[in-house]
Amino acid sequence: MIRVFVVNILRFIALLFLQVFLLKNISLYNLSVPYLYILFILLLPFETPNLLLFVLSFILGICVDAFYDTPGLHAAACVLLALARVLFISITVQKEGFDNEPEPTLGNMGFRWFFAYASILTLFHHFFLFNLEVFRFSEIQYTLIRFLTSSVFTLFLILISSFLFFRRKER
């Protein structure tokens, strides 16, 4: 239990610093901006209580908002991502019988499940974030292009980092 707590604290700090000090400065033609910090929410253990999940998501979003000068945008998107995570896990994990796995990682859940999980939740987070950021219909094409390219870029980084830290589950 202590090990899981320490790993998640270190993951929170590492992803926050990586997002704020490195990925904030990476932008492809001002269309694609990676938001790798959402990996923290995606990799929290299954048995994390929902209230704690929402609080951690809000804290992560507020920390990112503080560095991006976006008052509450990332916090709202992270809390909505946490809600989507709860719904996605409640639908897929119990149906497919993954109840004995501690956390939703690539090694524990397999590539197909993890790719669907990360893709759907990344698309959900980015769609809400970019639409909340612009909040007008006159720029819907630009917003949709930014949403799709940023989602692909973020998903690529999530998969790369998952393969770097890939560990097969022990049977």
pLDDT digits 0-9 by tens, 99-125: 555 788 887 888 898 899 999 999 999
CB 6 within 8 A of CB 63: no
Mean pLDDT for 76-95 is: 88
pTM, two decimals, is 0.88
What's the pLDDT at 96?
A: 53
Confidence of residue 85 (pLDDT cuts 50, 70, 90): very high
